[in-house]
Amino acid sequence: MWTVILLVSSNVFMTMAWYGHLRFKGFPLWLVILVSWAIALPEYALQVPANRLGHGQFSAAQLKIIQEVISLSVFFIFAAIYLGEKPTLRTGLAALLIIGAVVVAFWDDGRVN
């Protein structure tokens, strides 16, 4: 559970770092980059322990898939609330396909690894 909590927290920071500046297009690019890096630092401080705690319970590939699903989930919420971009049928379908990929990645076929 801690792995998922840390991954969600890290993705909130990273989404702000990567996309938060889109509402401030009047600021110089160099300043936006510096602020984005400052916001991204806590992301790394959360992401690294999340992966370390989760590895063993999950494979590295499963951790990455979990991270990507969380990243997209956080982004969809951020885009709707902060950027005012509502999900479309196309983005909803894409999200369903990603959920399908998660099901495949975690499918238990009964074999011992």
Q: Is residue 89 part of a domain?
A: yes
Q: Is residue 75 part of a domain?
A: yes
pLDDT one-digit tens code per residue, 65-106: 889 889 989 999 999 999 999 989 999 898 889 888 888 888
Percent of the residues in the chain that have a pLDDT greater than 90, as a whole number: 68
Q: Is residue 40 part of a domain?
A: yes
Q: Which domain holds residue 100?
A: 2-105
Q: Is pTM beyond 0.75 here?
A: yes
Write down the pLDDT at residue 109: 62
Number of domains making up the chain? 1
Query: What is the rounded distance in angstroms from the CA atom of residue 27 to the CA atom of residue 20?
Result: 12
Query: What is the rounded distance in angstroms from the CA atom of residue 22 to the CA atom of residue 32?
Result: 10
In 3-state terms the chain splits into helix, strand, coil percentages (rounded to 5) of 75, 0, 20
**3 state SS of 67:** helix
Q: Is residue 111 part of a domain?
A: no
- Counting Cβ atoms within 10 Å, is residue 35 exposed (0-12), middle (13-18) or buried (19+)? middle
Please name every residue paired with 58 in a beta bridge, in sequence order, or none if there are none.
55
